[in-house]
Amino acid sequence: MGLGIEQRLADKREEILVIAHKYKASNIRIFGSVSRGEANAECYERSSPFTQ
């Protein structure tokens, strides 16, 4: 199995922040099942921008 959601977010953190800064976004947050710690890779395999 591939990387978990938490690891994928950690790996993309800097890229996310650069894009947020480019568009003057601030207070970036993760929500839903990911923030509650209920997410798993299978849930997001088809829809996540973090899939490899």
Per-residue pLDDT tens over the stretch 1-50: 456 778 888 999 999 999 999 999 999 998 888 778 777 666 655 555 65
Judge whether 51 lies within some domain: no
Judge whether 32 lies within some domain: yes
What is the count of structural domains for the chain?
1
Query: Do 11 and 51 meet the contact criterion of CB atoms below 8 Å apart?
Result: no
CA–CA distance, 52 with 46 (Å, rounded to integer): 10
Confirm whether pTM is higher than 0.75.
no
Judge whether 24 lies within some domain: yes
CA–CA distance, 23 with 5 (Å, rounded to integer): 24
Query: Do 5 and 47 meet the contact criterion of CB atoms below 8 Å apart?
Result: no
CA distances to 10, 23, 41, 42 from 4, rounded to whole Å, are 10, 27, 6, 9
